[in-house]
Amino acid sequence: MNVLLLGSGGREHAIALALRKSPFLATLFAAPGNPGIASVAEIVALDLADHAAIAAFCKLIGIGLVVVGPEVPLVAGLVDDLAAEGVSCFGPSRAAARLEGSKAFTKDFCARHGVPTARHAAFSDIAAAKAYARARPVPIVIKADGLAAGKGVVIASTRDEAEAAIAKMLSGGFGVAGERIVIEDFLDGEEASFFALCDGTRGVPFSTAQDHKRAFDGERGPNTGGMGAYSPAGLVDAALEARIMHEIIEPTLAGMAAEGAPFKGVLFAGLMIAADGPKLVEYNVRLGDPEAQVILPRLEEDLLALMLACIEEDLGPRRLRFSDRTALTVVLAAQGYPDAPVAGTEIGGLERAAAMPDVTVTHAGTKLIGGKLVASGGRVLNITALGRDVAEARARAYAAVDAIDWDGGFCRRDIGWRALGRT
Ligand code: AMP
Ligand code: GLY
């Protein structure tokens, strides 16, 4: 089967590597891709916003499956538009992608279906929002309703900070994403990311991860898309997994189906593990980046076959096999990330790093210019290693990081610190 993979980051490079293991794969195409993806797929020039052009390409070439990495095309209804043209696509419909596209939708949905989450209210009026925030305890969390690339959340530790965030978001500081805001109570606990593969009615656990959102060591600095991650999240044992499935994932799938928007694809639950149990912080409707880079190398199943089973509503009752080794990934970012990453600096030593045992290098923001590999984004490379435990995976990943020559980049040196502290 020919497959078209959409996206251009480290997540998509990791998906490409997993799809390549499938005996069902004929040719793997990718758009827009990157130099790393180009070494395992045939790159095609397609604009992810041009759904008609993607459908036309699929029909011309005979693409049996489209795999979408990022959220924006899903929220924009790519799956619906391709389905209308008879093209199969792995991922949620526009209606189901509201679980990521609108925080207000998700919070109201949780209230309708008894999914545990922080108490909240949604506003588009500044005065009403401020009045509500004043009546709640601090810290308090202010969120832009729509997609804001991970930047639309403010955790205010004082009332003044809360009011400033409300005023900024509702007066256009976050564009359309902030025309409506959600204000919610602060949840205390440890965060974990839980993934489920879903076929519209059934969900099966697709492992867990913990990421590191802050730019610098010691959880300091600005929020980023993620500076590193590891899988599995040791915090989520079998008993907690069962609770998460029963209290969060299953009511969500039943509720979405009952509301006429059955969810197919990867459901990524950002959870707070509080003293009284797991609570939903947010949903994403696709694999995470860099979470995919640590989950997919541990998958001991045919990803292509699993994606087809989701589309055909045929996942069945099953437990997916994952390696019991730990994967840990370190993100190498360009100096200045996240505010103003410097582009164009040259990178060397990747072959040396990638040749080390149990190490995989995925490209996130690179470009080939005149035969030289240069940085072209904020997050530029992911160095992933497998090991017996977090300590071994981490030692292997940082040994490979040290084999790379790149003066223009930086990384965190403490990925996995929480898990190391636990053992
Ligand atoms: P979100 O984009 O909704 O995942 O929020 C980004 C980050 O803000 C989360 O990963 C949490 O670290 C934090 N956060 C969001 N909502 C809450 C909450 N209600 N309580 C505590 N932390 C939160
Ligand atoms: N790493 C978080 C995300 O992919 O949204």
CATH code of residue 53: 3.40.50.20
Give the residue from 311, 336, 351 where a domain finishes: 311
Q: Are residues 306 and 409 in the same domain?
A: no
Give phi and psi for 362, each to the nearest 5: -115, 145
The answer for residues whose C-beta is within 8 angstroms of residue 203's C-beta and 6 or more apart is 196, 197, 245, 249, 250, 253, 267
What range does the domain containing 38 cover?
2-91
- From residue 305, give the alpha-carbon distance in Å to each of 22, 25, 78, 295, 334: 8, 10, 21, 17, 36
* Residue at 159 is within a domain: yes
Ligand 2 pocket test, pick from 103, 231, 284, 286 with the greatest ligand atom count within 8 Å of Cβ, gives: 284
* Residue at 101 is within a domain: no
Ligand 2 pocket test, pick from 103, 291, 293, 362 with the greatest ligand atom count within 8 Å of Cβ, gives: 291
User: DSSP assignment, residue 348?
Assistant: B
The protein residue whose alpha carbon is closest to atom 2 in ligand 2 is 288
Q: Which amino acid is present at 50?
A: D
Q: Are residues 28 and 83 in the same domain?
A: yes
Q: Are residues 205 and 172 in the same domain?
A: no
Spatial distance between the Cα atoms of 367 and 118, rounded to a whole number of angstroms: 42
* Residue at 104 is within a domain: no
What pLDDT does residue 418 have?
A: 85
- From residue 18, give the alpha-carbon distance in Å to each of 5, 37, 291, 298, 326: 12, 12, 14, 10, 17
Q: Are residues 196 and 174 in the same domain?
A: no
Sign of the CA dihedral with 341 first, then 343, 346, and 349 last: positive
Q: Are residues 266 and 218 in the same domain?
A: yes
Q: Are residues 67 and 172 in the same domain?
A: no
* Residue at 52 is within a domain: yes
Pairing of strands 28-32, 2-7: parallel
Counting atoms of ligand 2 from 1, which one is nearest the CA of 287? 4
- Of the listed ligands, the closest to the CA of 69 is 2
What pLDDT does residue 223 have?
A: 84
The protein residue whose alpha carbon is closest to atom 3 in ligand 2 is 288
Give the CATH number for residue 291.
3.30.470.20
* Residue at 110 is within a domain: no
* Closest C-alpha among 321, 310, 213 to residue 270: 213
Give the CATH number for residue 168.
3.30.1490.20
* Residue at 32 is within a domain: yes
Q: How much distance in Å is there from the Cα of 272 to the middle of ligand 1?
A: 9
Q: Is the pTM of this model over 0.85?
A: yes
Q: Assess contact for 282 and 192: CB atoms under 8 A.
A: no
Say what angle helices 250-258 and 103-113 make with each other, to 10 degrees.
Answer: 100
C-alpha R_g of the chain: 21
Q: How much distance in Å is there from the Cα of 230 to the middle of ligand 2?
A: 13
Q: Are residues 347 and 396 in the same domain?
A: yes
Q: Are residues 307 and 195 in the same domain?
A: yes
Helix (H) or strand (E) holding 243: helix 238-244
What pLDDT does residue 149 have?
A: 66
The protein residue whose alpha carbon is closest to atom 9 in ligand 1 is 281
Q: How much distance in Å is there from the Cα of 153 to the middle of ligand 1?
A: 7
**Residue length of the chain:** 423
The answer for residues whose C-beta is within 8 angstroms of residue 233's C-beta and 6 or more apart is 192, 193, 208, 209, 210, 419
* Residue at 19 is within a domain: yes
* Residue at 209 is within a domain: yes
Ligand 2 pocket test, pick from 286, 289, 296, 412 with the greatest ligand atom count within 8 Å of Cβ, gives: 289
Q: Are residues 304 and 363 in the same domain?
A: no
Q: Are residues 178 and 210 in the same domain?
A: no
Q: Are residues 266 and 330 in the same domain?
A: no
* Ligand 2 surroundings by CB, under 6 angstroms: 211, 225-226, 284, 288-289, 291
Q: Are residues 195 and 304 in the same domain?
A: yes
Q: Assess contact for 90 and 265: CB atoms under 8 A.
A: yes
Collapsed DSSP state (helix, strand, coil) of residue 402: coil
Give phi and psi for 276, each to the nearest 5: -100, 15
Give the residue from 170, 185, 200 where a domain finishes: 185
Counting atoms of ligand 2 from 1, which one is nearest the CA of 290? 1
- The number of distinct structural domains making up the chain is 4
What is the full per-residue pLDDT of the chain (423 aa) written as tens digits?
999 999 999 999 999 999 999 999 999 999 999 999 999 999 999 999 999 999 999 999 999 999 999 999 999 999 999 999 999 999 999 999 999 999 889 999 999 999 999 999 989 989 889 989 999 999 999 988 877 666 678 899 999 999 999 998 888 776 766 678 989 999 999 999 999 999 999 999 999 999 999 999 999 998 888 999 999 999 999 999 999 999 999 999 999 999 999 999 999 999 999 999 999 999 999 999 999 999 999 999 999 999 999 999 999 888 999 999 999 999 999 999 999 999 999 999 999 999 999 999 999 999 999 999 999 999 999 999 999 999 999 999 999 999 999 999 999 999 999 888 875
Give the residue from 185, 201, 229 where a domain finishes: 185
* Closest C-alpha among 310, 257, 297, 255 to residue 280: 255
